[in-house]
Structure 1
Amino acid sequence: MGEQGRGDAPRVTIEQAQQWLGELFAPWVQALGLRVTRIEPGEAELLMPFSPQLCRVGGTVCGQSLMAAADTAMVFAIASGLGGFRPMTTVNQTTGFLRAIADSDVRIVARVLKPGRTLTFGEVSMFSAADGKLAAQVTTTYAML
């Protein structure tokens, strides 16, 4: 049996997470071009490549794409803590936009704060990959189905 996650849960690999992205998420989420770059039990890091198609007027990455990327990253963080994908739904997502991102990939770091049987709480930090500066901070709550 491979590496283990928390407890006796199997460890989720980057390849497995990337496969889920292609199989379990809506086509418009897949269109964000997200790449899983790191996954550990209860944590996930993704990269959203810059694309003019994800920008609003003025050339900055739009909030809708940032929020969708944060939501997706959190699903991976939760699944990695469980050792595999389990159906869940977003109950709450609060996003604070701290600064705009223009002409840069977005680095997304998601972390489970408190896993639970029925609800799981987490946080996501989003950075401009060009300068490493924090651009958005997200708090989340998910219902485990």
Structure 2
Amino acid sequence: MDIVMDAEALNAFLGREFPQVAGEYRVERVDPDLLTARLTVGEAHLRPGGTISGPSIFALADLAIYCAILARIGPVALAVTTNASVDFMRKPEADRDLRAECRVLKLGRVLAVAEALIYSEGGTEPVARCSMTYSIPPKS
């Protein structure tokens, strides 16, 4: 799949369109097979028990998948999640950032399907697996 937005362009887009999350999440790498994004973990992402909250993990996966799709179709702010599934597989490390490795599995005219594996920084085993479908609005 051709890449039309690199990491720099995606981060600029996030800063413009979603300034509320741009400081916490960033795209680190984009290539035809893989997009890598990071959540800089802070106090707001933690929950009792010394772990990172499920909503924070979901948000990273959603952002990574959204950006992986935009990397291929361009800056379409109104592409939206239509289906999501998350498997929480192990406890993430509370004192480490989270890293998402995302792959687009199918990119059609109106739907895109992708998956993300979420890791604690430095870890080799995923803490979560996410699968999402996005609806792509028609070109006007």
Which residue identity lines up with residue 131 of structure 2 in the other structure? T
Rounded Cα–Cα distance in structure 2 between residues aligned with 1:114 and 1:14: 21
Unaligned runs of 5+ in 1: none
What is the aligned partner in structure 1 of residue 28 from structure 2? 37
Q: For residues 32 and 67 of structure 2, what CA distance do their matches in structure 1 show?
A: 10
Match of 1:138 in 2: 130
Cα-to-partner distance string for 1:106-126 (whole Å, 9 max, x where unaligned): 110111100011111110110
Local SS of the residue matching 2:57: helix
Contact 1:34 1:47 in 2 (8 A): yes
The one-letter amino acid of 2:53's match is C
Bigger shift: 47-56 or 68-77? Answer: 47-56
Shift of 1:52: 2.1
Residue aligning to 2:10: 17
Contact in 2 for aligned 1:52/1:59 (Cα 8 Å): no
The two structures, once aligned, show a CA RMSD in angstroms of 1.7
Whole-Å separation in 2 of the counterparts to 1:74 and 1:35 = 12
Displacement of 1:77 in angstroms is 0.4
Superposed, which structure 2 residues align to 1:1-145 within 5 Å? 6=2, 11-25=4-18, 27=20, 29-30=21-22, 33-41=24-32, 43-82=34-73, 84-86=74-76, 87-102=78-93, 103-145=95-137
Gaps of 5+ in 2: none
**Runs of 4+ with deviation above 6 angstroms:** none
1:117 alignment partner, SS class: coil
Q: How many residues align?
A: 135
Q: Distance in 2 between matches of 1:112 and 1:142?
A: 11
CA deviation vs aligned residue, 1:38-63 (integer Å, no higher than 9, x gap):
01246321111221220111221100
